[in-house]
Amino acid sequence: MSQPLRLRKNADRRLKAGHLWIYSNEVDTRATPLKAFQPGDLARVEAANGRALGVACVNPGSLICARIMSRDPAMQVDRSLFVHRFKQALALRQQLYDTPFYRLVNAEGDLLPGLVIDRFGDVAVVQLNTAGMQAQSEAVVEALEKVLKPAAIVFRNDTGGRRQEGLDARVEVVAGTLPDEVLIEENGVRFAAPVLDGQKTGWFFNHRDNRRWLNRHVAGKRVLDLFSYVGGFGVQAAASGASEVLCVDSSATALEGVARNAELNGLHEQVAVGEGDAFEALAALKADGEQFDVVVLDPPAFINKRKDQAGGEHAYGKLNREAMRLLGRDGMLLSSSSSMHLAPERLVNVVRGALRHQDRQGQVIFQGHQAADHPIHPAIPETAYLKALGVRVFRD
């Protein structure tokens, strides 16, 4: 039986509403000192009146000091719990997609706090983002082997979340052997995903639906894909008939990926790359008198903490203004943000401000989100983070 973790009076309200997190100031540390726990220990969570609320994994040094693994206080956290959750997660993805390329486990959104697993066919890429998940790493691997039988399992344990939890950064193949190139297909287009040295797990599955939407608006068009990474938007646009695509990223490795992905689809003539800072690239393109029919903006999150709010919104504003300046008379902007702290209506406001600044008219004709393999936990706002607006930009 695991140790109890007693909450202060009324601190059980959020859990009762369905949330999975416990903050350190919600613990009755006189009754159950956090010091008594090692990072990753399991605890039986109790309300102030002693009623059991579930089983959680604890990290005494973290602001979010415990995360609920099951609302059943008698639940064993072991391989069978992971097998059960993985099967539930897999059933949803198989219902959603015909091909085995997706986010299989979306942490809290799949009731597995701190655990992310992306599936690239028979390669599984895992991020253990909390001390609790780190402690369960063996059970995670065993359960994955049982449910998915992957040819290789990669730990991409080099995330910012781990740093906050006091965990080290490490990337390793923990089971099987990795093929020379990990290939996926998305919206009918083939990609190589750099799972060992790319961004995050190697691929951003979250934008699948937004890319599919964009693909309908690019035939015969000149497209600028800013913050392209390995060409998720840009190479798909070329595959959907764009006459010319320019992918811009500050990472030379990412742009090598763009070239490889263009080649994989026989599109190297349509796809060009530019290495550099996106803001500088926008200024240089403007100075050269370049124009595009479609511009895609998919920057890294500019607002990671509440205190970055004003500065972040300013950066989104500048980016959207500068991008709009490159659009011809009747253009399309896909403007996205992965900042949870930027509310959807604030992104609309960013676009509105940019339109006014450029004295252009705009119509929001698409409101995109993270794809369904990134389920949102209804009680945890942090699990809803991605926004994408499709905006027709014209002159009246």
309 lines the binding site for ligand SAH (CB under 6 A): no
d(Cα 156, Cα 147) in Å, to the nearest integer? Answer: 20
367 lines the binding site for ligand SAH (CB under 6 A): no
d(Cα 105, Cα 201) in Å, to the nearest integer? Answer: 12
Q: Which residues contact 318 (CB under 8 A, 6 or more apart)?
A: 279
Distances (CA, A) of 16 to 22, 54, 307, 362, 379: 12, 11, 29, 43, 10
Burial 60-96 (b: 16+ CB within 10 A, else e): bebebbbbbbbbebeeebebebbbebbeebbebbeee
Compute the least distance from the CB of residue 289 to ligand SAH, in Å. 21
Indicate which single residue of 199, 243, 291, 349 sits in contact with ligand SAH (rule: CB under 6 A). 199
Compute the least distance from the CB of residue 301 to ligand SAH, in Å. 9
Indicate which single residue of 232, 312, 331, 390 sits in contact with ligand SAH (rule: CB under 6 A). 232
In the three-class reduction of DSSP (H, G, I as helix; E, B as strand; rest coil), residue 143 is classed as helix
Are residues 37 and 58 in contact, defined by beta-carbon separation less than 8 angstroms? yes
- Residues 282-301 contacting ligand SAH, CB under 6 A: 298, 300
Give the Cα-Cα-Cα angle 209, 214, 219 (nearest 5 degrees).
140
Question: What is the size of the binding site for ligand SAH (CB under 6 A)?
Answer: 16
Compute the least distance from the CB of residue 199 to ligand SAH, in Å. 5
Indicate which single residue of 29, 80, 243, 251 sits in contact with ligand SAH (rule: CB under 6 A). 251
Compute the least distance from the CB of residue 256 to ligand SAH, in Å. 12
Q: At what angle do helices 232-239 and 208-215 cross, to 10 degrees?
A: 30
156 lines the binding site for ligand SAH (CB under 6 A): no
Compute the least distance from the CB of residue 323 to ligand SAH, in Å. 12
Are residues 336 and 295 in contact, defined by beta-carbon separation less than 8 angstroms? no
Residue nearest to ligand SAH (CB): 232
Compute the least distance from the CB of residue 344 to ligand SAH, in Å. 19
Burial 304-326 (b: 16+ CB within 10 A, else e): eeeeeeeebbebbbebbbbbbbb
390 lines the binding site for ligand SAH (CB under 6 A): no
Are residues 391 and 335 in contact, defined by beta-carbon separation less than 8 angstroms? yes
Compute the least distance from the CB of residue 288 to ligand SAH, in Å. 18
Compute the least distance from the CB of residue 45 to ligand SAH, in Å. 36
Compute the least distance from the CB of residue 275 to ligand SAH, in Å. 9
d(Cα 302, Cα 313) in Å, to the nearest integer? Answer: 8
Indicate which single residue of 148, 193, 254, 347 sits in contact with ligand SAH (rule: CB under 6 A). 254
Indicate which single residue of 29, 250, 309, 367 sits in contact with ligand SAH (rule: CB under 6 A). 250
278 lines the binding site for ligand SAH (CB under 6 A): yes
Indicate which single residue of 249, 293, 313, 373 sits in contact with ligand SAH (rule: CB under 6 A). 249
Indicate which single residue of 263, 277, 290, 382 sits in contact with ligand SAH (rule: CB under 6 A). 277
- Residues 205-224 contacting ligand SAH, CB under 6 A: 207
Alpha carbon 364 to chain centroid distance? Answer: 23
Return the bridge partners of 245, or none: 223, 271
Which among 160-168, 212-220, 248-256, 284-292 is the span making contact with ligand SAH, rule CB under 6 A? 248-256
Residues that bind ligand SAH (CB under 6 A): 199, 204, 207, 227-229, 232-233, 249-251, 254, 277-278, 298, 300
